[in-house]
């Protein structure tokens, strides 16, 4: 049995935090022990507790220093075999705690932003026994920073494979968001931040509405750009056509309402909401940026747009909305691909194997 101390110091709920909880549940289901160090009252802390996981809370103020102190105390008790840093703040805390001197340290890298080349940033990753990259694009950024290829493993994100959306679930979801039966719904799920490309999507949607006046746009997610995006929608005369749903805890109600899922991210490591949309059997449209081009096979499991242009994006969306047979074919292939390559079980199995190998290697060296 592996005893894993997972660390995540993010305050908000995003794809990485969802992956952390899936991993903890999967480890427990396989007979391992997994506990969490998290910021007190953060989204991941209360969700982990609600799921029955043990959480070691640290104050929000000075979260990295506080988490490092908490980790040192826990590791001195020799209760854990491995530390897993789920994001960059967690990795800093693990490095400050010198956790790598006591147990193997595993670091997740989820973003495709270039890794900072300063000495401290690189030192954190160099002490990790393994770095788990969620896509080849992320792995390439780690290699470009000069990190050891032998310590980098590709472990794609995973999602639970849901049951197909039933007609009743679709009807109820559309009623919830106020969509009529004759309206076509384009949707997107993601934090409202610049790199997610919502401004581009709204521009493209304005063009799409000229051809599809009964088309609506559902945006699920919260973030610092919400007011700016709402202003953009008002200025384009789209206030009544766009639903800003904010953070939706039961996000399946968003996926169930849509006809087309758009993922306009300009810089993306992979995209867990994209994978989930595919798992629900939605036709997907994305930009060929970062890890997205590894997930969507253009013309088989979705449509990839090469240029970050509102005009090009709108044309691609229009082509999909006009062709029911194409949407159905892409949807089937997308769901099959997620089940075979991006399931939560596959992600947990791959991660657990790495943990077990590192623990066995440490035991063998003692």
The answer to whether residues 295 and 274 touch, using CB atoms and an 8 Å cutoff, is yes
Q: Which of 327, 328, 332, 292 is nearest to 308 (CA)?
A: 292
Query: pLDDT by residue (tens digit) across 13-39?
Result: 999 999 999 999 999 999 999 999 999
Q: Tell me what pLDDT residue 79 has.
A: 86
Query: pLDDT by residue (tens digit) across 266-301?
Result: 989 889 999 999 999 999 999 999 999 999 999 999
The answer to whether residues 101 and 75 touch, using CB atoms and an 8 Å cutoff, is no
Query: pLDDT by residue (tens digit) across 295-317?
Result: 999 999 999 999 999 999 999 99
Confidence of residue 364 (pLDDT cuts 50, 70, 90): low
Q: What is the mean pLDDT of residues 140-150?
A: 96
Q: What percent of the chain has pLDDT over 90?
A: 93
């Amino acid at each position: 049995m592996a005893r894993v101390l997972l660390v995540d110091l993010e305050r908000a709920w995003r794809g990485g935090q969802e992956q952390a909880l899936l991993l903890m549940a999967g480890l427990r289901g396989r007979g391992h022990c997994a506990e969490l160090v998290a910021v007190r009252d953060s989204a991941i802390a209360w969700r982990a507790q609600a799921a029955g996981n043990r959480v070691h809370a640290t104050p929000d103020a000075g979260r990295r220093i506080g988490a490092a102190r908490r980790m040192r105390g826990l590791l001195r008790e020799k209760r854990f075999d491995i530390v897993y840093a789920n994001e960059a703040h967690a990795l800093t805390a693990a490095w400050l705690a010198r956790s790598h001197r006591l147990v193997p340290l595993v670091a997740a890298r989820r973003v495709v932003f270039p890794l900072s080349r300063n000495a401290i940033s690189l030192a954190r990753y160099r002490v990790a026994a393994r770095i788990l990259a969620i896509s080849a694009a992320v792995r390439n950024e780690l290699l470009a920073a000069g990190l050891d290829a032998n310590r980098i493993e590709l472990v794609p994100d995973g999602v639970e494979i849901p049951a197909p959306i039933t007609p009743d679930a679709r009807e109820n979801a559309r009623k919830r968001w106020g969509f009529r039966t004759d309206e076509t719904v384009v949707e997107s799920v993601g934090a409202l931040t610049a790199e997610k490309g919502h401004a581009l999507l709204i521009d493209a949607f304005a063009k799409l509405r000229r051809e599809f006046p009964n088309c609506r746009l559902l945006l699920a997610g919260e973030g610092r750009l919400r007011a700016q995006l709402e202003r953009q929608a008002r200025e384009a005369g789209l206030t009544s056509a766009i639903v800003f749903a904010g953070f939706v805890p039961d996000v399946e109600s968003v996926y169930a309402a849509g006809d087309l899922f758009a993922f306009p991210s300009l810089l993306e490591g992979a995209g867990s909401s994209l994978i989930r949309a595919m798992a629900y059997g939605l036709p997907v449209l994305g930009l060929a940026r970062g890890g997205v081009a590894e997930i969507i096979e253009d013309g088989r499991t979705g449509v990839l747009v090469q240029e970050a242009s509102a005009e090009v994006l709108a044309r691609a969306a229009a082509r999909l909305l006009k062709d029911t047979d194409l949407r159905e074919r892409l949807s089937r292939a997308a769901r099959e691909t997620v089940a075979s390559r991006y399931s939560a079980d596959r992600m947990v199995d791959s991660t657990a194997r790495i943990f077990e190998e590192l623990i066995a290697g440490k035991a063998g060296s003692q």
